[in-house]
Amino acid sequence: MIKVNIVCVGKIKEEYLRSACSEYIKRLSRFCKLEIKELAEGKNLKEEAAAILKNVKGYKIALCVEGGQMTSPALAEKMGALVDKGEEITFVIGSSCGLDDSVKQTADLKLSFSQMTFPHQLMRVILLEQVYRSFMINAGSEYHK
């Protein structure tokens, strides 16, 4: 079973967001081994970067505003190719201040979900849903319409 990691800075404080994450984590359990690594917010981006870089493995996808955008089917295709290779996948979500350039430079893919700005805690829910959607698309499910 493929391993998918989410390395993120900060904890989710709101119960409704934790509940949404739990639901997608449960749904994803049939497709992958998911690990979420929550890191403490640092004094600055360099400090956070050091902690992030210690925890990234495999194919690294940094979520950042300057990244390229893709459709859900395109993300599913990319993830499907990585799964076919047996490649571990790590998504990185920075703190509310973003990601240090050193993290972005080590990423295999820089991905932006929108030109809009989202709270980093909500971004975790959005990411989990899109990872789930990717697996469902690749399984031929009706979930993605």
User: At 120, is the pLDDT very low, low, confident or very high (cuts 50, 70, 90)?
Assistant: confident
**Residue pair 123/10 in contact by the 8 Å Cβ criterion:** no
Query: Domain map of the chain by residue range?
Result: 2-138
Q: Compute the average pLDDT of residues 118-138.
A: 96
Question: What does each C-alpha distance from 19 to 25, 85, 132 come to in angstroms?
Answer: 10, 32, 16
CATH of 2-138, one of 2.60.40.10, 3.30.10.20, 3.40.1280.10, 1.10.472.10: 3.40.1280.10
pLDDT in tens, 14-23: 999 999 999 9
* Segment holding 105, helix H or strand E: helix 101-106
Is the pTM above the cut of 0.85?
A: yes
In this prediction, residues 41-66 reach a mean pLDDT of 95
Q: Which residue has the higher pLDDT, 89 or 145?
A: 89
**Over residues 46-64, mean pLDDT:** 97
